Copies of this chain bind each other. A is one copy, B any other.
C-alpha cells in the first residue's frame, strides 16, 4: 500500500501517521521526493482502512498495491478451481449448463422442466423454493415443500440442483441440496457468508446489483476464509440508468474476474435482462466472453406460461440455444 503525503506536511504529522501505521504491525518505507513524500507500507495491509487514511488532511492519495483478497486471488492460486457437483465439473475448462424455472410450483412442473432441460443437455437443475421478493405481499416460494419437489426431480432425472438459501436459520433444510445459491441481495449478508464457509457444499455467489468486482471477491473471501473453497461467482446484471432492460449485464466482468481469481464464473442472462427474447443473444455472448457456465430460466407449463414464462425460455427455445452455446464453446474453449 502506498500513501502519498501532501506537499508541506509537517514532520510531526508525518511521524504521527507513521507511528500509527507501525502500531498496526506494518513496516514503513519513506521515499521523499521534491514535491511529495511517499510511504510504502509492507506487511498485512488488509486491516488498513484506505478510505479513512485517504480522508486525512495530510494525505494526497492512497493506493492499495496488493489486492485485499487472498483465498480467491489468482496470484496465490494460479490454477483454475474446478468445482465438482456429483459427476459434474465446473471451471478449469469444464462448462456447465444450469437450467430450470424461477420458482418451483408443483411436482409436475419441476419434473417436466427437469426432464426437458436434461434432454437438452443441462448439467444442473435450478429452481427457487425460498424466493426474495421486493414486496411482502408477493409469493415467496413453496419453501421446505419446494426443496422436497426438487429432490423428486433430481431422483427422476439424475440432475443435481442449485437453490437459494436466504436465511441461516433454514440451513438444516438444505442438508440434501447439491449447490446453495446466495442471491444478489444477500451478497453482503456477512453472517450468512461466514456460515456457508462451514458447509461442505459448493456455493453459487451472485453479484449484488451495485457491487464492484472487488466487493464480490471479498464476499467470496468470507466463505473461503471460513473453510469452504467451493465457490462459484455469478454475474447477473448491475443497476444502471438503463431504460429498456431491467439491469445491465456486465460481461466484461467475465474476463476481468478470470484474471483476478481462480474461481469459476457463471452468467445469469435471465435476471440480467428480464426479457426472454434477450436471453439467447446474451447467453451466447457470455459463452463467447469465456464464462464457465450459464444459469438460465426455463419454464414448461403451457397454462401458466403466459406469465411465469415471460422471462423464461420454453424448453424448445432452450434446446436451440443449448446447441448454439455448444458451437460457441467449440470456438472459444
Q: Which residues in A have some Cβ–Cβ distance to B below 8 Å?
A: 2, 4, 16-17, 20, 29, 31, 33-36, 38, 40, 42, 46-47, 49, 51-53, 55-57, 60-61, 63-66, 68-69, 132-140, 166-169, 185-186, 188-191, 193-194, 208-210, 212-215, 218, 221-222, 225-226, 238-246, 248-252, 254-256, 259-260, 272-278, 281-282, 284-290, 306-308, 310-311, 324, 327-328, 331-332
What's the Cα separation between A217 and B25 when bound, in Å? 40
Are B251 and A249 closer than 8 Å at their CB atoms? yes
Can you spell out 22 A-B residue pairs with CB atoms less than 8 angstroms apart?
A2-B38, A16-B306, A29-B31, A31-B38, A47-B139, A51-B274, A61-B63, A69-B135, A134-B218, A135-B218, A136-B194, A169-B191, A186-B189, A212-B241, A212-B244, A238-B240, A240-B241, A242-B250, A254-B285, A255-B277, A259-B277, A324-B332
Q: With the chains together, A276 CA to B52 CA distance in Å?
A: 10
Alpha-carbon gap, A212 to B134, bound state (A): 11
The chain B residue sitting closest to A284, CB to CB, is B288
Tell me whether A248 and B252 are in contact (CB under 8 A). yes
Q: Provide the bound-state CA to CA distance between A284 and B31, in Å.
A: 41
Q: Using CB atoms, name the residue of chain B closest to A326.
A: B331
B contact residues around A46 at 8 Å (CB) = 135, 137-138
Is the CB–CB distance between B34 and A31 below 8 Å? no
Least Cβ–Cβ distance between A68 and chain B, in angstroms: 5
Q: Note all chain B residues with C-beta closer than 8 A to A246.
A: 51
B residues within 8 A CB of A60? 65
A284 to B251, CA, bound (A): 11
**Contact yes or no, A241 B241, CB < 8 A:** yes
For A308, the chain B residues whose CB sits under 8 A away are: 52
Check A272 against B252 for contact (C-beta < 8 Å): yes
Give chain B nearest CB distance to A245 CB in angstroms: 5
**Measured between alpha carbons, how far is A238 from B308 in the docked complex, in Å?**
31
Task: Check A42–B33 contact: CB distance below 8 A.
Answer: yes
- Determine the chain B residues whose CB is within 8 A of the CB of A17 once the complex forms: 306
CB distance from A66 to the nearest CB of B (A): 8
User: Which 9 pairs show the lowest CB-CB distances between chains A and B?
Assistant: A210-B210, A31-B31, A288-B288, A285-B289, A284-B288, A212-B243, A285-B285, A185-B188, A52-B310
Complex: A16 Cα to B302 Cα, angstroms? 12
**Other than the known A134-B218, A137-B225, what 11 A-B pairs have Cβ atoms closer than 8 Å?**
A51-B311, A52-B308, A61-B64, A136-B218, A210-B210, A210-B239, A238-B241, A248-B248, A251-B251, A285-B285, A327-B331
Question: What distance in Å separates the Cβ of A296 from its nearest Cβ neighbour in chain B?
Answer: 15
Taking a contact as CB atoms under 8 Å apart, the answer to whether A240 and B240 are in contact is yes
Q: B185 contacts A221, CB within 8 Å?
A: no
Q: Which residue of B lies closest to A62 (CB)?
A: B63
Residues of B within 8 A of A68 (CB): 135, 137
CB distance from A243 to the nearest CB of B (A): 4
Residue of B at shortest CB range from A323? B331
Q: Which residue of B lies closest to A13 (CB)?
A: B306
Q: Are B35 and A38 in contact (CB under 8 A)?
A: no
Whether B55 and A274, one on each chain, are in contact in the complex, defined by CB atoms closer than 8 angstroms, is: yes
Q: How far does the Cβ of A30 sit from chain B's closest Cβ, in whole Å? A: 9
